Amino acid sequence: PSLEELVLKMEVELPEVDFSFWYRTANPQSYKMNKSCAQYPDPFDLQLHNFYWQTLVNGNVTFQLYAAYLDKRAAVESPRGVVRILATANQIGNEFPATHCQLWYADHQEPILVLISEYISVWPRVWNIKPLLSYPHLLSCPIPDELPFQLHDATPRTVSLTAQVCDRASNSLRVHYNLQAVPNTINSQASESTLSFGVCIKAFQFPFVDVSQRLIEWFELQRLLGTSRIYAYEYDVLPAVQRVLDYYQSTGYLELRPLTMANGAPSLRHYLHSLIQNRLLVKRLNELIPFNDCFYRNMYRHDYMVNVDVDEVIMPLGELHNWQQVADAVLQNKTSKCPNGYNAMCFTNSQFSDHNDPDELFFLQNTMRLRNYSAQNQAIKCFHNARYSLTLHNHYTLQTLPGSCTFQFVDTSLAHMQHYFRKIKNATLREMVEDHSIAKYATELRAAVRQVLIKLDE
């Protein structure tokens, strides 16, 4: 293959490295500050780590860099926006050494040099911590107010981090800034606006269990609820599951990204499965990477981002049939004390039993739940407002931009979150109740699943 062909192939293999920019622009035009300062990084000299990460060592801190995004939301205090880098660090709560950002633009040979202004932990220090693990952080590189005239409306193409301002970087991340909206396909005649919902799923890890049928049902149910697009990550799945994921990717309804562990754990089937089973804190820390990456890649494409697992369903109740109607009902109660709305709408958890009769769709057959809801702040899931969220946890917004109110619990007369458990601990029949909220989707769901199965058999 030619070098041109190899460049395109390498961008598929290492999607965060902008090989095309280096090959066509930065390398032939000798991008640098000067001969001895801040030369554009050669992609073959990058410190790659576990395929999808890049390493920067600065003093006693080791960063693993994952991806970068341009944040120009209205609530961002920096007028020209901020380049945010999702990374991990081998410390939490301590001071960080000064670290420099090199912002590279097309048609401008010299980098724009700034210091990282914020090291935002995505894992609260008050939670369980152990030394030297890979703690997720969001690093902020503010774009300066004063730029060369030709860059006033330009977007940084790549960003690199260095310990010293003139270092030649050992890392290079393309800067994501995707403004192409993904419309809602649900038509709500009573609504003044049509909201777009993007769903984020943590990395699929199904090396031994065939969940392909369950995934089809869950994907189609999300579509009926009003999901515009699903964004998922992948460690390891069986071929039957991969076939389903490939199908949904081909339709444009799913965007799937491979993922590895920030701590360097190899993606060996039995080892990775055992590690995830036996190192819960490592698992939890790494889960925050896909949720926050999903948010920042897609925050301009949707009004709300929703972090859920494939055993969870945010269910509209009563006469409500989709998430648009739920959001409309909540937003009707906006008050003068909260003119810009809430940073999230959060749903109370309800625990459903998990049985599997192969003659019926999984979600349609499981209609028994605990009579009492979980505590209001326990195991909730939320619609995260894309205008104001800053960092996300699986269950709620951790930090927000200024301008919004704190998250709002959605009344259980409007919707709740259905979480399916294989066995509800110590539950008696007296504590259970029938809940057929899902029945209103039964006809459409069966038909949709049937159509997908037919497509897969072609």
Q: What is the pTM assigned to this prediction?
A: 0.95
**In sequence order, what are the beta bridge partners of 197?**
227, 304
Domain map (residue ranges) of the chain: 3-176, 197-457
Could you say which architecture CATH assigns to the domain 197-457? Answer: Alpha-Beta Complex (3.90)
> Which long-range contacts (C-beta less than 8 Å, at least 24 apart) are formed by 317-323?
317/412, 317/413, 317/414, 317/415, 317/416, 317/437, 318/413, 318/414, 320/414, 320/415, 321/440, 322/186, 322/188, 322/224, 322/225, 322/226, 323/186, 323/195, 323/197, 323/225, 323/226, 323/227, 323/383
> Using an 8 Å Cβ cutoff, are 200 and 294 in contact?
yes
Give every CB contact of residue 196 below 8 A, 6+ residues apart in sequence: 181, 182, 183, 184, 228, 301, 302, 303, 304
> Using an 8 Å Cβ cutoff, are 445 and 219 in contact?
no
Amino acid at 419: H
> Using an 8 Å Cβ cutoff, are 217 and 185 in contact?
no
pLDDT score, position 354: 86
What parts of the chain have a pLDDT lower than 50?
none
- R_g of the chain computed on alpha carbons: 23
pLDDT score, position 384: 97
> Using an 8 Å Cβ cutoff, are 369 and 432 in contact?
yes
Q: Tokens 């104001």 map to which residue? A: 388
pLDDT score, position 310: 96
**In sequence order, what are the beta bridge partners of 115?**
100
Quick count: other Cβ atoms within 10 Å of Cβ 127?
11
**What are 238-250's pLDDT values in tens digits?**
999 999 999 999 9
* Length of the chain, in residues: 458
